Structure 1
Amino acid sequence: MRSITVTMSVTLDGVVQGLGRPDEDTRGGFTHGGWGQRYTDDVMGREMAKGMAKPGDMLFGRRTWQDFITAWGGLSDGNPFTTHMNAATKYVVSRTLEDANAWQNSILLRGDAVDTVADLKAGPGRDLSIIGSASLVRSLHAAGLIDRYTLLIHPLTLGTGARLFEGPAPLTEFDLTDSVTTTKGVIIARYTRR
């Protein structure tokens, strides 16, 4: 059985929307896009590289997968993150995509996210990681399919934007297994489900 680890950047008030660029995700009139860029430093880079050092497959919701194609797909810049992203098998969960041919090594999982991911998780293969894809994470968390979280907790509040958990999340307990604070005040906390 595979495990599923989520890596998510989040503000103190739980916002996960539009971390990387001003135009990344403007749904709902969100105007704070790019809020995470000023918090990047060498410590964060090293910590994120740890997660990419071990081979694994990736799992995406449609919106994040399409956004990542723009950011990572087809690049050959020598960046280890680019190499990892392009080499990994990428499963994209979608009811609307017709195919996953736009990015190498991508496989489309059609149908209900919980059912298709539960089947994928139960089968043989490498562990799965999710970066972003908050809607997918909420669904999988509610179904008890998330095993670990790596949360990059940024020292700011935004007041608006999509949150990691909107509405009640089911009672699930996690143990803190590791934490590191960056030079910019981001707490990188790793949690494993009990």
Structure 2
Amino acid sequence: MGTISVYESITLDGVMQAPGRADEDERGGFAHGGWGVGYEDDVLARFAGTAMAASTGLLLGFRTYKDLLRHWTAVTEPNPYTDALVSAPKHVVSRDASTDLKYPNSELHAGDAHLTVRRLRESWEGQLTVLGSGELVAALDAAGLVDEYVLLIYPILLGSGHRLFADEHRKDLRLIEAVTTTTGVLACRYAIGRLSPVT
């Protein structure tokens, strides 16, 4: 059976919406797109590279899949993301069975996320990594299908926007790894479940 790792960039007040580009996600009148730009450094690049190297496939909501692949396949200058995204096995969750997946190495999982992803997780070997895909993450979290969270926490307060844990119930997390970048981003990896008390 596989594991599911959720990899997200969030602000200090928990906003996950549109960290990469101004026009990435303007739903709800969100005007702060691109808030994560300018915080990159070698520490963050190494952490991200290590986290992604552990992945054997990507698990994406359809909107994130379409946006990510459309953007990175249009980028002309050399970068470490385009080839990795195109070549990675991509498992795309959609409620619509007629959803068209136009990029290579993509497989559709149509229906309710907690059912389709549970079947995928049971048959998968290795780690499936979720990028973005806020609605999918909420469904997986509610169904107890998330094994770990990898969070890049930026020293920014926005006060508005879609939050990763907007309607969260209590959840205990166990810190596995934490790195602070030179730009103040805190990169953390959490497993689900609290530490056992020392006796």
Distance in 2 (CA, whole Å) between partners of 1:141 and 1:101 is 25
Task: Report the number of matched residues.
Answer: 193
When residues 53 and 19 of structure 1 are mapped into structure 2, their CA distance, relative to the original with a 3 A threshold, is same
Matched, 1:150 2:138: no
Distance in 1 (CA, whole Å) between partners of 2:84 and 2:100 is 18
Q: What's the counterpart of residue 24 of structure 1?
A: 24
Moved more, 47-56 or 115-124: 47-56
Moved more, 105-114 or 119-128: 119-128
What secondary structure, in the 3-state scheme, does the structure 1 residue paired with 2:179 have? Answer: strand
Q: What's the counterpart of residue 91 of structure 2?
A: 91
- Kindly indicate whether the alpha-carbon contact (under 8 Å) linking 1:100 and 1:107 is maintained by their aligned counterparts in 2: no
Q: What's the counterpart of residue 103 of structure 1?
A: 103
When residues 55 and 145 of structure 1 are mapped into structure 2, their CA distance, relative to the original with a 3 A threshold, is closer
What secondary structure, in the 3-state scheme, does the structure 2 residue paired with 1:151 have? Answer: strand
Q: What's the counterpart of residue 170 of structure 1?
A: 169
Matches within 5 A, 1:106-185: 106-167=106-167, 169-185=168-184
Moved more, 83-92 or 143-152: 83-92
What secondary structure, in the 3-state scheme, does the structure 1 residue paired with 2:28 have? Answer: helix
Q: CA deviation at 1:2?
A: 0.3
Q: What's the counterpart of residue 81 of structure 2?
A: 81
RMSD across aligned positions (CA): 1.7
Q: Which runs of 5+ in 1 are unaligned?
A: none
Q: CA deviation at 1:174?
A: 1.5
Q: CA deviation at 1:38?
A: 1.6
Q: Which amino acid aligns with 2:178?
A: S
- Kindly indicate whether the alpha-carbon contact (under 8 Å) linking 1:73 and 1:103 is maintained by their aligned counterparts in 2: no
TM-score of the pair, normalised by structure 1 = 0.93
- Kindly indicate whether the alpha-carbon contact (under 8 Å) linking 2:69 and 2:85 is maintained by their aligned counterparts in 1: no
Moved more, 63-72 or 6-15: 63-72
When residues 126 and 76 of structure 1 are mapped into structure 2, their CA distance, relative to the original with a 3 A threshold, is farther
What secondary structure, in the 3-state scheme, does the structure 2 residue paired with 1:49 have? Answer: helix
What secondary structure, in the 3-state scheme, does the structure 2 residue paired with 1:171 have? Answer: coil
Distance in 2 (CA, whole Å) between partners of 1:188 and 1:112 is 31
When residues 143 and 55 of structure 1 are mapped into structure 2, their CA distance, relative to the original with a 3 A threshold, is closer
- Kindly indicate whether the alpha-carbon contact (under 8 Å) linking 2:17 and 2:163 is maintained by their aligned counterparts in 1: yes
Deviations 1:85-129 (A, max 9, x none): 111110000013624431110001000011000111111333200
Q: Which amino acid aligns with 2:171?
A: T
Q: What's the counterpart of residue 185 of structure 2?
A: 186
Q: CA deviation at 1:42?
A: 1.5
TM-score of the pair, normalised by structure 2 = 0.91
Q: What's the counterpart of residue 14 of structure 1?
A: 14
- Kindly indicate whether the alpha-carbon contact (under 8 Å) linking 1:73 and 1:104 is maintained by their aligned counterparts in 2: no
Deviations 1:134-178 (A, max 9, x none): 1111110111100011100000100110000122x2332221000
Q: Which runs of 5+ in 2 are unaligned?
A: 194-199
What secondary structure, in the 3-state scheme, does the structure 2 residue paired with 1:152 have? Answer: strand
